[in-house]
């Protein structure tokens, strides 16, 4: 075993290969397209192989404890900042998934981005490598300090890649918006990490749950929000875990910090596939899953998490209904599924939520890549400018159908197995609101995705160019489609291999009692939705779309206005920015420039103007000033040393 354990110890090599590729590309091969792509893809292949090896090793030692190696990197007084690696079953699976999907998408990108000029192309691969490195580093982080570092790095890569076509103002502002909105969440995250450290004096994931329990019994550090009233240990724990969850709210685009995700579609489609569907947005969910024992200490936070997830899932699904841009539909769909994953985690179904994360990554990446293929062929994102693509782009049409079926949760595709576990857990819980939201979401999900399918791939064509498919693009599509088809079988209700793999203790999987009934209900709802979509959109979609919009005008305007949450955040930001900039400019121009700089110059000027009259040239004048000065000094010294006062007490002054 010792030989095998050795290579798992070097798990940090997995993010290292793409990072090294980033350095190489950005320093040396910025002008050479094929070399840059070659370096980037080679690095990610190496990472995939290594990650697979690690996964295989973990499969062999399923019941071995996690491999954690940490060293202290920085110390500041008594605070130690550790870095290291964490290889448990969850992180091994995630490493494999992330590197594999990154590989597929990079291969696809060589064809999608071929019209870019050199520096753009190489820059793209550099950033892709950096992103892969950051995400893989995030996955193997064993403590909050390191995960925060990679969290920010991933956010940076997202900024760089969304704003890839930086000459476009829409892309630039979308990148900025993504960065700033996730910053809000990250601020909460940071405060949570700091408070957690102050409570437990540790950053490490494995040490903290026990330390929280000891904090609950014997709190060393207490806070108060209202002066005079201190928070109880339970409230503090809930607050801290919620703050940590704030990071996930921002990064995983959950309500209310979801506003950046639709705008992020300004980036190239492979970027949307990789970052905003499969990996980065999953980072928030992954973090919650990895640190789940910490969240288990606070049931209130878990409840909040579940509700935020449910609300996001429903809201996003409704907004997807009203979109005409294929990428936006998929973006809202991602948001909705992230909500579902969060819901699962809030309900306690750790394995279910994580499994859905894995399956969703594959079929969502597949859907995005199909969309990319269509966009590349037709040069438009608008579904009303597409049609009948299943005849002209066969592979894309077929794989998109597979992806849509997986999304809608139809067996035997992977989405069915993962989503139904979650639905079963929700139905087994006492929350009525969540059950209703879940059912509605299932209907709307199937409806919107098949709306897109029927409008874009069925009916008549509404374009005049002949679309072509390209093998470099279609092969990745096929690979992903195969995985979406068979991947679900690792976690069937009868033999939940994934859950068993994930945890050595059974967690809350005992809720899979009434698996059958919810599955059937949900399946029926989905099929009904698909049927509705078919009847409306398969033959004459434009007509029915018009009809629906006119009929449900109010709802439609709410949906296209995105529930006005965007406007809410915009107005807040505008007020804050306006205030801060006014204050800053006032201070800069009036106080610093006016008072300090100009004022001191003016003072010197005026002083000079008046003091120069003292230069009379007359020595006697100077002598008078000297005498006066002597008098003043004598008086001052005398008074300070109490000379005059004490001598007054003597009385007799003259002899």
Partner 1 sequence: MITVETVIFYTLSAIIIAAAIVVVRARNIFYAGLSLAVVLTGVAGVFLLLRAEFLAGMQVLIYAGAVIVLILFAIMLTQGIHRFENEPHNRMQFLALLSVIALSSITAFILLVHKWPLPVRKPIIPVWESLNTLETGRILVKEFALPFELLSVLLLAAVMGAMLIARKKGEGNDGN
Partner 2 sequence: MTGINHYLVLSLILFSIGVFGVLTRRSAIGILLSLELMLNAVNINLVAFSHFLESITGHIFAIFLIAVAAAESCVGLAIIICVYRTFKDIRADNINLLKW
Q: Where does this chain bind partner 1 (CB under 8 A)? A: 618, 620-621, 624, 627-628, 630-631, 634-635, 638, 643-644, 647, 650, 653-655
Residue 524 found at the interface with partner 2 (CB under 8 A):
no
Q: How far is the CB of 77 from partner 1 (least distance, A)?
A: 58
Q: Which of 448, 434, 443 minimizes the C-alpha distance to 404? A: 448
Distance CA 35, CA 556 (A): 49
Residue 596 near which of partner 1, partner 2, none (CB within 5-8 Å, type-dependent): none
Identify the helix (H) or strand (E) that includes residue 259.
none
Tell me which of partner 2, partner 1, none is bound by residue 628, counting a contact when its beta carbon lies within the kind-specific cut-off of 5 to 8 angstroms. Answer: partner 1
- End-to-end CA separation in angstroms for the chain: 109
Burial of 12 (0-12, 13-18, 19+ CB in 10 A): middle
C-beta of 599 vs 638, nearer to partner 1: 638
Side-chain half-sphere of 432: how many Cα atoms within 13 Å?
A: 0
The distance of closest approach from Cβ of residue 654 to partner 2 in the complex, given in angstroms and rounded to an integer, is: 7
Contacts to partner 2 from residues 578-637, by CB under 8 A: 612-613, 615-620, 623-624, 627
C-beta of 647: minimal distance to partner 2 in Å? 15
Query: Is the Cβ of residue 551 or residue 621 nearer to partner 1 in the bound state?
Result: 621
How far is CA 156 from each of CA 22, 79, 176, 261, 609, rounded to the nearest angstrom? 14, 27, 10, 15, 57
d(CA 173, CA 153): 19
- For partner 1, the closer of residues 73 and 643 by Cβ is 643
- Cα of 615 vs its chain's centroid, Å: 72
| Complex with partner 1: residue 391 or 621, whichever CB lies closer | 621
644 binds, options partner 1, partner 2, none, Cβ within 5 to 8 A by partner type:
partner 1
Comparison of 3 and 617: residue with beta carbon closer to partner 2: 617
Q: Select from 555, 334, 374, 536 the least CA-distant residue to 465.
A: 374
Nearest residue (CB) to partner 1, 494 versus 650: 650
Nearer to partner 2, 2 or 618 (CB): 618
CB of 610 to partner 2, least distance (A): 11
For residues 371 and 397, the answer to whether their CB atoms sit within 8 Å is no
Rg (CA), the chain: 32
Please state, in angstroms and rounded to a whole number, the distance separating the CA atoms of residues 182 and 179: 5
The token duo for 391 is 């005849």
Minimum distance of partner 1 from residue 639's CB (angstroms): 11
Taking CB atoms within 8 Å and a gap of at least 24, the contacts of 183-187 are 183/155, 183/250, 184/246, 184/250, 184/257, 185/246, 185/247, 185/248, 185/249, 185/250, 185/251, 185/257, 186/148, 186/151, 186/152, 186/155, 186/247, 186/250, 186/251, 187/246
For partner 1, the closer of residues 597 and 635 by Cβ is 635
Two structure tokens written together for 22? 């980033």
Partner interacting with residue 610 (select from partner 2, partner 1, none; CB below 5-8 Å by kind): none
Task: Return the one option of partner 2, partner 1, none that residue 630 interacts with (CB less than 5 to 8 A, by type).
Answer: partner 1
**Which partner from the list partner 2, partner 1, none does 486 bind, CB cut-off 5 to 8 Å by kind?**
none
Least distance CB 644 / partner 2 (angstroms): 18
String of DSSP letters for 14-69: HHHHHHHHHHHHHHH-TT-HHHHHHHHHHHHHHHHHHHHHHHHHHHHTTTSPPEEE
Residue 647: name its binding partner from partner 1, partner 2, none (Cβ under 5 to 8 Å by kind): partner 1
Q: Smallest gap, in angstroms, from Cβ of residue 618 to partner 2?
A: 5
**Torsion over CA of 519, 298, 134 and 113, rounded to 10 degrees?**
40
Restricting to residues 193-252, which ones interact with partner 2 according to CB under 8 A? none
631, interface contact from partner 2, partner 1, none, CB < 5-8 Å by kind: partner 1
- Shortest CB 632 distance to partner 2, Å: 16
Tally the C-alpha atoms within 13 A of residue 289's C-alpha that lie toward its C-beta.
33
Among partner 2, partner 1, none, partner that 617 touches (CB below 5 to 8 angstroms by kind): partner 2
Shorter beta-carbon distance to partner 1: residue 520 or 624:
624
Rounded to the nearest angstrom, the gap between the alpha carbon of residue 536 and the centroid of all alpha carbons in its chain is: 36
Q: How far is the CB of 627 from partner 1 (least distance, A)?
A: 4
Query: What does 170 bind: partner 1, partner 2, none (CB cut-off 5 to 8 Å by kind)?
Result: none
- To the nearest whole angstrom, how small is the minimum distance from the Cβ of residue 608 to partner 1? 23
Q: Which of residues 102-161 bind partner 2 (CB under 8 A)?
A: none
Residue 650: CB minimum distance to partner 2, A = 14
- Comparison of 554 and 652: residue with beta carbon closer to partner 1: 652
Crossing angle, helix 326-347 and helix 280-290, to 10 degrees?
A: 0
Q: Is 431 helix (H, G, I), strand (E, B) or coil?
A: coil
Q: Which one of partner 1, partner 2, none interacts with residue 567, CB within 5 to 8 A by kind? A: none
> Between β-strands 79-87 and 67-76, what pairing exists: parallel, antiparallel or unpaired?
antiparallel
Report the interface residues with partner 2, using CB under 8 A: 612-613, 615-620, 623-624, 627, 654-655
């Amino acid at each position: 075993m010792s030989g095998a354990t050795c290579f798992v110890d070097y798990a940090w090599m997995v993010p290292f290969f793409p990072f090294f590729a980033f350095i190489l590309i950005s320093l040396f091969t910025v002008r050479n397209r094929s070399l840059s792509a070659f370096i980037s893809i080679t690095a990610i292949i190496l990472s995939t192989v290594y990650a697979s090896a690690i996964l295989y090793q973990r499969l062999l030692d399923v019941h071995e404890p996690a491999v954690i190696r940490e060293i202290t990197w920085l110390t500041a007084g008594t605070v130690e900042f550790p870095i290291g690696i964490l290889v448990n079953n969850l992180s091994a699976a995630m490493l494999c998934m992330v590197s594999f999907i990154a590989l597929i998408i990079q291969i696809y990108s060589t064809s999608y981005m071929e019209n870019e000029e050199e520096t753009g192309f190489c820059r793209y691969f550099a950033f892709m490598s950096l992103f892969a490195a950051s995400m893989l580093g995030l996955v193997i982080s064993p403590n909050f300090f390191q995960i925060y570092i990679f969290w920010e790095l991933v956010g940076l890569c997202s900024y760089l890649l969304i704003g890839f076509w930086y000459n476009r103002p829409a892309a630039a502002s979308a990148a900025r918006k993504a960065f700033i909105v996730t910053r809000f969440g990250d601020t909460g995250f940071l405060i949570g990490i700091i408070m957690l450290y102050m409570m437990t004096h540790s950053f490490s994931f494995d040490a903290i749950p026990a330390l929280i329990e000891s904090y609950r019994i014997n709190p060393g550090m207490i806070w108060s929000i209202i002066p005079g009233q201190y928070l109880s240990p339970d409230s503090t724990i809930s607050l801290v875990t919620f703050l940590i969850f704030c990071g996930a709210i921002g990064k995983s685009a959950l309500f209310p910090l979801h506003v950046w995700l639709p705008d992020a579609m300004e980036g190239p489609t492979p970027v949307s596939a990789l970052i905003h569907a499969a990996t980065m947005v999953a980072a928030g969910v992954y973090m919650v899953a990895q640190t789940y024992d910490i969240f288990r200490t606070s049931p209130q936070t878990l409840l909040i998490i579940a509700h935020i997830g449910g609300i996001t899932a429903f809201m996003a699904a409704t907004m997807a209904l009203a979109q005409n841009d294929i990428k936006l539909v998929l973006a809202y769909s991602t948001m909705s599924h992230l909500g579902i994953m969060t819901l699962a985690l809030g309900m306690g179904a750790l394995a279910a939520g994580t499994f859905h994360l894995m399956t969703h990554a594959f079929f969502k990446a597949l859907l995005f890549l199909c969309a990319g293929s269509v966009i590349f062929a037709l040069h438009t994102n608008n579904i009303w400018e597409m049609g009948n693509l299943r005849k002209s782009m066969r592979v894309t049409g077929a794989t998109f159908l597979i992806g849509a079926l997986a999304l809608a949760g139809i067996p035997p595709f992977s989405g069915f197995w993962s989503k139904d576990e979650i639905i079963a857990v929700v139905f087994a819980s006492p929350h009525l609101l969540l059950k209703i939201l879940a059912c509605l979401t299932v209907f709307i999900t199937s409806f919107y995705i098949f709306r897109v399918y029927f409008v874009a791939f069925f009916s008549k064509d509404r374009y005049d160019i002949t679309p072509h498919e390209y093998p470099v693009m279609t092969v990745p599509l096929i690979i992903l489609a195969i995985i979406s088809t068979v991947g679900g079988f690792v976690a069937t209700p009868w033999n939940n291999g994934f859950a068993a793999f994930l945890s050595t203790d059974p967690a809350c999987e005992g809720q899979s009692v009434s698996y059958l009934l919810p599955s059937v209900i949900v399946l029926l709802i989905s099929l009904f939705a698909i049927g509705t979509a078919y009847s409306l959109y398969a033959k004459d979609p434009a007509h029915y779309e018009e009809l629906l919009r006119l009929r449900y005008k109010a709802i439609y305007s709410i949906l296209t206005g995105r529930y006005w949450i965007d406007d809410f955040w915009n107005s807040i930001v505008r007020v804050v920015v306006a205030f801060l900039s006014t204050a800053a400019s006032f201070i800069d121009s009036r106080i610093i420039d006016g008072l300090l700089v100009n004022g001191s110059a003016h003072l010197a000027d005026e002083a000079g103007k008046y003091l120069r009259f003292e230069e009379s040239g007359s020595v006697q004048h100077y002598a008078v000033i000297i005498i006066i000065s002597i008098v003043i000094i004598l008086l001052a010294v005398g008074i300070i040393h109490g000379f005059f006062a004490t001598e007054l007490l003597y009385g007799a002054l003259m002899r």
